[in-house]
Amino acid sequence: MFSLWLKHQCFIDGEWCDADDGATADIVDPGNGERIGSVPQMGTAECQRAIGAAQTALPAWRARTADERARIMRSFYEHMMANQEALATILSREQGKPFLEAKGEIAYAASFLEWFAEEGKRAYGEVVPGHAADRRIVTLRQGVGVVAAITPWNFPSAMVTRKLAPALAAGCTMVLKPAPATPYSALALAALGEQAGLPPGVFNVVTGDALAIGGEMTRNPLVRKLTFTGSTEVGRLLLRACADTVKKVSMELGGNAPFLVFDDADIDAAVEGAVVSKFRNCGQTCVCTNRFYVQDTVYDEFVAKLAQRVSTLPVGYGMDEGTMIGPLIDIAAVHKVEAHLEDALAGGAALLTGGKRSIRGENYFEPTVVANVKPDMKLAREETFGPLAGVIRFRDEADAIALANDTEFGLASYFYTRDIGRVWRVAEALEAGIVGINTGLISTEVAPFGGVKQSGLGREGSRHGLDDYMEIKYLCLGV
């Protein structure tokens, strides 16, 4: 089953194909260093062909009724769920996350197809009361056209469907460039979409050179929208590159999520929330907590309980039963965790648990907690993207809010309190697109996901997610 969906070719215009020059890139399991296989190393020409195929497929796909598109998307969802274990195996092997988390991601990824299949039927326009007696005004919502998508390695399946599902529902076609480290989950989606009945050219997957493919995607006037999830640094480059052809853009960029624990919080619940929000996917999600702020009076209790709980998290290979902390994606990610830890310890932070590479292998790092962290340390200013939790003290609510907002990022934020007035005050004051209140898990297809400040533009998921793939056209009718 695993090998059935493991595709070593790209998918353009309904055909499985190699790079024009036959070039390939090896894909390695980050958990054991084994080569899984190789995928085409494509560039400008292949990407241009894929965009052409998406443009050719557009009129017929757009002309279908929302219900016809929904039936194919529903079938796509069912194919994903019927193959959940095989897809989770591919995902865990190429990305490293524990198999159970990988299964969860496949269900989450599939949920976007199911949700947007339904939501596409409700892309209503409106009748606007006219401005003159002899005029009538009507609005239509129409798919934007050919969409180019660039996705990251941390959620190789869900980051694809979160873009693909609203695009398909809106009547758009797509060319996708998955992250170089994790192409297999995306290629498996192409195969499942084909099985579900997506016509040729509607969904194309091109693997290879990021600069060449990204360059073509941003330059090509046929592409009407670019949707990207990744770092703020690359997002800025892509935004600039899209300016010449004035594309519509969605940007899901970096985060630096704060997690506030007030003195009236349920501390045990806060510790559980802290663990899921920090250590899921080995700390490699853009909504992972990056900075913990705990009120003076409960600080010692919280850090002691957090360190105790974190010291019990089993580190291991993603496919081994019981693993909760898998490998990091590569050695550079380990180096970043080490640099942030070193900087914190040099500045006087106290190591409570973890603190070194795991004996499991070179990409593994022990889940780590450090206390007495200062707001100007690297681990509080930059996204660590690893299993390192640093805890900072705060005095009062105003202090906590000021510390939380002292960043150019604004994606997720979390806080724990049982005071209803504080819930409203803090939720309104946090500069973030997403606020988890007394919970560390906030991702779902039904809610609008996205950031403010330099964390991005646009929303994915929910009914608002469809708007990002549609344009409003207004008809002014003389009567």
Pick 132 or 210: Cβ nearer ligand ADP: 210
DSSP notation for 87-149: HHHHHHHHH---HHHHHHHHHHHHHHHHHHHHHGGG---EEEPPSSTTEEEEEEEEE--EEEE
Single residue of 230, 387, 410, 458 touching ligand ADP by CB under 6 A: 230
Torsion-angle region of 356 (φ positive above 0: left; ψ -120 to 50: alpha; else: beta): beta
Q: Whole-angstrom Cα distance, residue 316 to residue 471? A: 47
Considering the rule CB under 6 A, would residue 234 count as an interface residue with ligand ADP? yes
Single residue of 179, 303, 388, 470 touching ligand ADP by CB under 6 A: 179
Considering the rule CB under 6 A, would residue 243 count as an interface residue with ligand ADP? no
Beta partners for residue 413, in sequence order: 435
Considering the rule CB under 6 A, would residue 40 count as an interface residue with ligand ADP? no
Pick 230 or 327: Cβ nearer ligand ADP: 230
What is the smallest separation between the CB atom of 434 and ligand ADP, expressed in angstroms? Answer: 18
Considering the rule CB under 6 A, would residue 152 count as an interface residue with ligand ADP? yes
Looking at residue 245, the DSSP 8-state letter turns out to be T
Q: Whole-angstrom Cα distance, residue 179 to residue 175? A: 13
- What strand order describes the sheet that includes 470-478? 126-128, 135-143, 470-478
Residue with tokens 């640099």: 339
Q: Of the listed pieces 84-92, 174-182, 219-227, 402-410, which binds ligand ADP according to CB under 6 A? A: 174-182
Give 18's Cβ-side CA count (13 Å radius). Answer: 7
What is the smallest separation between the CB atom of 472 and ligand ADP, expressed in angstroms? Answer: 29
DSSP E strands in 395-469: the ranges are 412-416, 434-437, 456-457
Considering the rule CB under 6 A, would residue 442 count as an interface residue with ligand ADP? no
Pick 211 or 472: Cβ nearer ligand ADP: 211
Pick 177 or 247: Cβ nearer ligand ADP: 177
Considering the rule CB under 6 A, would residue 150 count as an interface residue with ligand ADP? yes
What is the smallest separation between the CB atom of 229 and ligand ADP, expressed in angstroms? Answer: 7
The catalytic residues are 252
Considering the rule CB under 6 A, would residue 27 count as an interface residue with ligand ADP? no
Considering the rule CB under 6 A, would residue 56 count as an interface residue with ligand ADP? no
Say which residues have a Cβ less than 8 Å from residue 353's Cβ, sequence separation at least 6.
307, 308, 310, 311, 366, 367, 368, 369
Considering the rule CB under 6 A, would residue 214 count as an interface residue with ligand ADP? yes
Considering the rule CB under 6 A, would residue 211 count as an interface residue with ligand ADP? yes
Q: Of the listed pieces 41-49, 145-153, 167-175, 431-439, which binds ligand ADP according to CB under 6 A? A: 145-153
What is the smallest separation between the CB atom of 122 and ligand ADP, expressed in angstroms? Answer: 31
Pick 149 or 352: Cβ nearer ligand ADP: 149
Give the residue among 441, 255, 424, 381 at the shortest CA–CA distance from 392: 381
**Would you give the binding string for ligand ADP spanning residues 102-141, x where CB under 6 A is met?**
----------------------------------------
Decide: 373 and 401 in contact? Cβ < 8 Å.
no
Pick 104 or 180: Cβ nearer ligand ADP: 180
What is the smallest separation between the CB atom of 236 and ligand ADP, expressed in angstroms? Answer: 10
Helix (H, G, I), strand (E, B) or coil at 73: helix
Q: Whole-angstrom Cα distance, residue 61 to residue 169? A: 10
Single residue of 36, 237, 313, 350 touching ligand ADP by CB under 6 A: 237
Q: Whole-angstrom Cα distance, residue 463 to residue 161? A: 15
Pick 383 or 397: Cβ nearer ligand ADP: 383
Q: Which residue is nearest to ligand ADP (CB)?
A: 214
Q: Whole-angstrom Cα distance, residue 181 to residue 38? A: 11
Give the residue among 17, 58, 50 at the shortest CA–CA distance from 204: 50
Q: Given the rule CB under 6 A, which residues bind ligand ADP?
A: 150-152, 177, 179-180, 210-211, 214, 230-231, 234, 237
